[in-house]
């Protein structure tokens, strides 16, 4: 649920905004006094700032929020002239509404800005590193195979990923052991055989006729392309 902070000293207006936004499913905090402090230190999804406030005015609050956050800011003012001032100062407010405004217009604008901001954040998220080969999808970031939480041990996962990233290439057990386990590791090349068996049990339909990781007799293994 989106959380909105209203910084407004007129109780009647603050209550009106709060009522309408709560009806639309938002979580609302109203603070006409220590709004600036809360805006800077707490997590909100949007700010609604009144311009005329008894202590620090809306211009200053807007400026200080922008120095720290990209959260959408909607400014509310009783004077049309102030709108020009908001624009002129380039404070980084996303929108402005003049009093008196219709509550449904306020709600519509809040929704639009939240949606726009979510899209913006969404497009910045880092994509997972995925290896996809012959119907097998290995998500290296989430460490999942085919989207399932099927339990692959760290080494099984690394071994499968390494083979899938180098398809049609035969690796000897020694090479795989060196690559996945380091030289200092306790164990030997039989470890590789055991791990291949475990991987096959998780990805193959029939482990006797492996379709993905082939055994090249006397040499090693190959991920079939
Ligand atoms: Ca005011």
Q: Is it the case that residue 209 has pLDDT exceeding 80?
A: yes
Q: Is it the case that residue 198 has pLDDT exceeding 80?
A: yes
Confidence of residue 24 (pLDDT cuts 50, 70, 90): very high
pLDDT score, position 155: 92
Distance of alpha carbon 23 from alpha carbon 192, whole angstroms? 60
| Ligand 1 centroid, distance to 117 Cα (angstroms) | 26
Distance of alpha carbon 26 from alpha carbon 108, whole angstroms? 12
In b/e form, how buried is each residue of 33-65, taking b as 16+ CB within 10 angstroms?
Answer: eebbeebeeeebbbbbbbbbbeebebbebbbbb
Q: Is it the case that residue 81 has pLDDT exceeding 70?
A: yes
Pairwise pLDDT comparison (215 vs 124), residue with the higher score: 215
| Ligand 1 centroid, distance to 167 Cα (angstroms) | 67
Pairwise pLDDT comparison (27 vs 186), residue with the higher score: 27
| Ligand 1 centroid, distance to 53 Cα (angstroms) | 5
Q: Give Cα separations from 22 to 30, 40, 56, 109 (angstroms).
A: 12, 22, 26, 15
Pairwise pLDDT comparison (116 vs 147), residue with the higher score: 116
| Ligand 1 centroid, distance to 204 Cα (angstroms) | 68
Q: Is it the case that residue 185 has pLDDT exceeding 80?
A: no
Four-CA torsion 182, 188, 189, 190, nearest 10 degrees: -140
Q: Give Cα separations from 126 to 48, 62, 111, 121, 161 (angstroms).
A: 30, 29, 25, 10, 20
pLDDT digits (tens, 9 = 90+) for 87-146: 767 788 899 888 888 989 999 999 999 999 888 877 666 678 889 999 899 998 888 898
| Ligand 1 centroid, distance to 113 Cα (angstroms) | 23
| Ligand 1 centroid, distance to 93 Cα (angstroms) | 17
At residue 133, φ and ψ (nearest 5 deg) are -150, 125
| Ligand 1 centroid, distance to 31 Cα (angstroms) | 12
pLDDT digits (tens, 9 = 90+) for 27-61: 999 988 888 999 999 999 999 999 989 889 899 99
List, in sequence order, every residue forming a beta bridge with 30; answer none if it has no partner.
6
| Ligand 1 centroid, distance to 77 Cα (angstroms) | 8
Q: Give Cα separations from 191 to 26, 157, 164, 173, 182 (angstroms).
A: 55, 14, 19, 9, 12
pLDDT score, position 123: 65
Whether omega before 163 lies within 30 degrees of 0, making that bond cis, reads: no
């Amino acid at each position: 649920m989106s959380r909105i902070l209203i910084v407004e000293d007129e109780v009647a207006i603050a209550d009106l905004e709060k009522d309408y936004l709560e009806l639309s499913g938002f979580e609302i905090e109203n603070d006409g006094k220590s709004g600036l402090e809360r805006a800077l230190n707490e997590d909100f999804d949007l700010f609604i700032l009144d311009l005329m406030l008894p202590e620090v005015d809306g211009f200053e609050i807007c400026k200080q929020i922008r120095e720290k956050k990209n959260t959408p800011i909607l400014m509310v003012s009783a004077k049309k002239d102030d709108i020009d001032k908001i624009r002129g100062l380039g404070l980084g407010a996303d929108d402005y509404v003049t009093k008196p405004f219709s509550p449904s217009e306020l709600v519509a604008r809040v929704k639009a800005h939240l949606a726009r901001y979510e899209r913006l954040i969404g497009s910045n998220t880092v994509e997972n590193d995925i290896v996809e080969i012959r119907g097998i999808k290995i998500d290296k970031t989430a460490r999942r195979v085919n989207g399932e939480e099927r339990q692959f041990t760290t080494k099984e996962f690394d071994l499968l990923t390494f083979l899938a990233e180098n398809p049609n290439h035969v690796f000897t057990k020694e090479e795989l052991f060196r690559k996945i386990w380091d030289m200092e590791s306790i164990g030997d090349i039989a470890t590789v055989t055991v791990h291949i068996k475990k991987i096959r049990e998780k990805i193959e339909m029939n482990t006797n006729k492996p379709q993905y990781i082939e055994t090249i007799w006397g040499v090693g293994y190959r991920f079939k392309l």
